[in-house]
Amino acid sequence: MKPAPVHSRTDDLSALARKAAELDAADELAPLRELFTVAPGTVYLDGNSLGALPRHVPARMQQVIAHEWGAMGIRSWDESGWWTAPERIGDRIAPLIGAAPGTVVVGDSTSVNVFKALVAAVRLAGDDRDEILVDAATFPTDGYIAESAARMTGRRIVPYRTGDPVGPRTAAVLVNHVDFCTGELYDLPSVTAAVHAAGATVVWDLCHSAGALPVGLEAHGVDFAVGCTYKYLNGGPGSPAFLYVRPDLQPSFDSPLPGWNSHQDPFGMTPGYTPADGAPRGRVGTPDILSMLALESALDVWNGVTIEAVRAKSLVLTDFFLECVSLEAVTPAAPEQRGSQVSLRCENAGAVMKELIARGVVGDFRPPDILRFGFTPLYVSFGDALRAARVLGEVLA
Amino acid sequence: MKPAPVHSRTDDLSALARKAAELDAADELAPLRELFTVAPGTVYLDGNSLGALPRHVPARMQQVIAHEWGAMGIRSWDESGWWTAPERIGDRIAPLIGAAPGTVVVGDSTSVNVFKALVAAVRLAGDDRDEILVDAATFPTDGYIAESAARMTGRRIVPYRTGDPVGPRTAAVLVNHVDFCTGELYDLPSVTAAVHAAGATVVWDLCHSAGALPVGLEAHGVDFAVGCTYKYLNGGPGSPAFLYVRPDLQPSFDSPLPGWNSHQDPFGMTPGYTPADGAPRGRVGTPDILSMLALESALDVWNGVTIEAVRAKSLVLTDFFLECVSLEAVTPAAPEQRGSQVSLRCENAGAVMKELIARGVVGDFRPPDILRFGFTPLYVSFGDALRAARVLGEVLA
């Protein structure tokens, strides 16, 4: 049975406060919070939308802007490593998603990477495979882009839910790893295996899992994956997305956006296109260096931190938050089905979230009736979770 | 007859030095140089590759990073105007390229924007128009992307040179406004008129003209245009590109990259795609805010500056440089055929450019034998032009 909401039972509140204090005291990741800027008085539970600023990033960006751009100018493309940043930063992300070096490249938005990956996936399939299966609960942009990919490759879209059949007409399957709205975590190994058993390829959207939980791309033989870096990877607003291509698929990766940065000899300036080998084949145009180097700098907070430790704390943290609140949780209670967020169903959710934010508890609202709270174990404490639940109780009362 | 090279005639040198001093003294744009950071002792003639850093940008970016991201976090999407940045910054660029407000949107790379514009252009044409004409001397990425656009829309590429026939089979024409290698400026009004007379649409790549010379998109009825912002617009390394769609074509603009940012109601999170009206229809995914706001800040140097004044100085500046050097100019002498760069043919051009850079004159090398010097009137002086010519003479001697 669920405990009563914290706003109604003083004894519960003090017991929960003791528990929060004990959990914080035992939390090995707790010192990492000092690496981040979180506004004083704020419980920031929106890291699943925009990750908090790592404290060292502003100084690094001053150096990038004033020295690398201002003083060194064009030479920085070579001498400051700008040109190779997309694959170098990809290699920093790779271990967090269980990928080998040389398989991840950073650049463009998630939407653009969905287009690259999905078109490339479809191009691996025979013409008789005329269907693209798309997660029925997908974050909308994946669906919009998939429609375009289908139109431009002569396929049709079929809505897909975990467990739906994947068959001989399936060219590719596009699925979200964690549902952006409900926070449900899908079973990547079994879905990937089912897609492969049907002779199709899978594209995983890791926007809500990269940096939040182990993904195991290599271990599970995932074909393609994309994800953003401004949520649990704290890369900054609109920081570039990433693209993963399984090593054995790289030689046949046929991008619909073969920009000059993906050429084998970009500065040869030849009129004919010859794609680069490996991860750089996923590049397109000139990378947005400022956004990209802010991301690279932000990734320093992961030095010495394992994604397994982050996941372990995330589950205890979201368990504890669920214990503290009385609203109906849309997010599954089973740990193996839960991402790093908690979504609660709530009447007047939009107005409630507005009031929460006014009182320093920052989550977000997703229509029609969802309060979303993201838990980033690198900087969210158990005390934060309790305070969020308490303020929510006050707002609802 | 060309004057002798400056390194060989002392009297020429002193006459040219007097002329440079007079031209600098009369230059109304000269004070703008103080707005930029150019490394001491450097003549920076690579603004056609990476524009110099405006001095005020580092402070603005500290504010964006520390305050808007760090302190305000997710609220900045609304309260700091992040969400509307792509069209707001588009409106800042619009007057520099002769476009009306609401017609330009910033985001993604030039390559990605070529794909959007060219596919959209082709989709306006009937199926019987099965050819895409592509500038035979195009910057390579446009050609690579055009091949992909052709493949995905069932068309074929035909190389195009100014004056070539545009006919009833032409769906769209993709042309560079200024040749990246030779610096030749093409006749936008007459090419546009010829394309229209044949019932086709034109996509202009303004990478080497935006911020360098008047373009007159609206005046000449251009259909689509794209361009980068890190050259003559000084937006910073890899700053986002722009897309122009003529107002009457906006309602039928059918993007191949219909990401959620281009939806009429992006936060409605609806599964069906309904495109936004106007310039935002050209958006795709979440914009790279740091790169984008650096660009916005950099555009402040244009306050009170007209593109006509910049062009006037550019022509005198490149005339003067041509007068000072003895190498064969690949760039046309006729002002109406010249961009804001001078390309010189030179034996061992790669090694010569390396030595020039070592001596503080920064241009670049384009294979096989071209020395490229970009002249940005906002921060390049006549004294700079003379010094560059003199050092070039020394290196060649």
Is residue A2 pLDDT above 60, yes or no? Answer: no
Per-residue model confidence as pLDDT tens digits over A65-79: 999 999 999 999 999
Is residue B120 pLDDT above 70, yes or no? Answer: yes
Give the pLDDT band (50/70/90) at residue A9: very low
What per-residue confidence (pLDDT) applies to A270? Answer: 87
Tell me which residue has tokens 């030849």.
A270
Three-state secondary structure call for residue A296 = helix
pLDDT higher at B219 or A2: B219
What's the predicted TM-score (pTM) here? 0.96
What is the average per-residue pLDDT within B189-211? 98
List the single residue in B with minimal CA-CA distance to A358. Answer: B75
What is the average per-residue pLDDT within A150-158? 98
Is A59-302 the same fold as A10-48+306-396? no
Give the pLDDT band (50/70/90) at residue A291: very high
Is residue A187 pLDDT above 90, yes or no? Answer: yes
Is residue A385 pLDDT above 70, yes or no? Answer: yes
Q: What is the CATH code of the structural domain delimited by A59-302?
A: 3.40.640.10
Question: For chain B, which residues make up each domain, given as ranges?
Answer: 10-55+306-396, 83-302
* Catalytic residue IDs of B: 139, 205, 230-231, 372
Note which residues in 139-158 of chain A have CB less than 8 A from chain B. Answer: 139-141, 143-145, 147-148, 152-153
Give the pLDDT band (50/70/90) at residue A131: very high
What per-residue confidence (pLDDT) applies to A269? Answer: 86
Is residue B239 pLDDT above 70, yes or no? Answer: yes
CA distance B145 to chain A (A): 6
Please indicate whether, in this complex, the C-beta atoms of B236 and A65 are within 8 angstroms of each other.
yes
Tell me which residue has tokens 């005339």.
B319
Please indicate whether, in this complex, the C-beta atoms of A110 and B286 are within 8 angstroms of each other.
yes
Please indicate whether, in this complex, the C-beta atoms of A141 and B240 are within 8 angstroms of each other.
no
pLDDT higher at B332 or A2: B332
What per-residue confidence (pLDDT) applies to A7? Answer: 47
Q: What is the mean pLDDT of chain B?
A: 95
What is the average per-residue pLDDT within B264-268? 93
What is the average per-residue pLDDT within B344-373? 95
What per-residue confidence (pLDDT) applies to B6? Answer: 46
Q: What is the mean pLDDT of chain A?
A: 95
Q: What is the ipTM of this complex?
A: 0.96
Is residue A159 pLDDT above 80, yes or no? Answer: yes
Please indicate whether, in this complex, the C-beta atoms of B366 and A269 are within 8 angstroms of each other.
yes
Contacts of B145 in chain A (CB under 8 A): 257-259
Q: Does B296 touch chain A (CB under 8 A)?
A: no
What per-residue confidence (pLDDT) applies to A39? Answer: 86
CA distance A259 to chain B (A): 5
For residue B231, what are the contacts with CB-CB under 8 A and spacing of at least 6? B47, B48, B49, B50, B51, B207, B208, B210, B211, B212, B374
Of B148, B267, B367, the CB nearest to A269: B367
Is residue B13 pLDDT above 90, yes or no? Answer: no
* Residues pairing with A53 in the sheet: A37
* Residues pairing with A365 in the sheet: A371
HEC profile for B179-236? CCCCCEECCHHHHHHHHHHCCCEEEEECCCCCCCCCCCCCCCCCCEEEECCCCCCCCC
Q: Does B58 touch chain A (CB under 8 A)?
A: yes
Which run of H or of E encompasses A175? strand A170-176
Q: Does B256 touch chain A (CB under 8 A)?
A: yes
Is residue B12 pLDDT above 90, yes or no? Answer: no
Contacts of B358 in chain A (CB under 8 A): none
Per-residue model confidence as pLDDT tens digits over A32-78: 999 999 988 999 999 999 999 999 999 999 999 999 999 999 999 99
Q: Does A52 touch chain B (CB under 8 A)?
A: yes
* Catalytic residue IDs of A: 139, 205, 230-231, 372
Rounded CA-CA distance A294/A317 in Å is: 28
What per-residue confidence (pLDDT) applies to A10? Answer: 53
Is residue A3 pLDDT above 60, yes or no? Answer: no
- β-strand B242-245 against B104-106: which pairing, if any? antiparallel
Per-residue model confidence as pLDDT tens digits over B56-86: 999 999 999 999 999 999 999 999 999 999 9
Contact A275, A283 (CB under 8 A): no
Rounded CA-CA distance A45/A375 in Å is: 6
Task: Please give the radius of gyration of chain A, using alpha carbons only, rounded to the nearest integer.
Answer: 22
Q: Does B263 touch chain A (CB under 8 A)?
A: yes
Give the pLDDT band (50/70/90) at residue B10: low
Give the pLDDT band (50/70/90) at residue A8: very low
What is the average per-residue pLDDT within B341-366? 96
Give the pLDDT band (50/70/90) at residue A4: very low
pLDDT-above-90 percentage for chain B: 93
List the single residue in B with minimal CA-CA distance to A135. Answer: B271
Please indicate whether, in this complex, the C-beta atoms of B110 and A286 are within 8 angstroms of each other.
yes
Please indicate whether, in this complex, the C-beta atoms of A284 and B112 are within 8 angstroms of each other.
yes
What per-residue confidence (pLDDT) applies to A11? Answer: 60
What is the average per-residue pLDDT within B295-304? 98
What is the average per-residue pLDDT within B40-58? 96
Q: Does A252 touch chain B (CB under 8 A)?
A: no
Per-residue model confidence as pLDDT tens digits over A98-115: 999 999 999 999 999 999
Rounded CA-CA distance B91/B212 in Å is: 17
Q: What is the CATH code of the structural domain delimited by B83-302?
A: 3.40.640.10
Give the pLDDT band (50/70/90) at residue A346: very high
Three-state secondary structure call for residue B171 = strand
What per-residue confidence (pLDDT) applies to B11? Answer: 60
Q: Is the dihedral of CA A210, A216, A218, A223 positive or negative?
A: negative
Q: Does A267 touch chain B (CB under 8 A)?
A: yes
Per-residue model confidence as pLDDT tens digits over A250-260: 999 999 999 99
Please indicate whether, in this complex, the C-beta atoms of A46 and B74 are within 8 angstroms of each other.
yes
What is the average per-residue pLDDT within B21-35? 98
Per-residue model confidence as pLDDT tens digits over A314-342: 999 999 999 999 999 999 999 999 999 99
Please indicate whether, in this complex, the C-beta atoms of A112 and B112 are within 8 angstroms of each other.
yes
Q: Which CATH class is domain B10-55+306-396?
A: alpha beta
CA distances to B44, B354, B355, B362, B363 from B359, rounded to whole Å, are: 11, 9, 6, 8, 11
What is the average per-residue pLDDT within B329-351? 96
CATH H-level, domain A10-48+306-396: superfamily = Aspartate Aminotransferase, domain 1 (3.90.1150.10)
Is residue B3 pLDDT above 80, yes or no? Answer: no
Of A57, A75, A267, the CB nearest to B65: A57
What per-residue confidence (pLDDT) applies to B164? Answer: 95
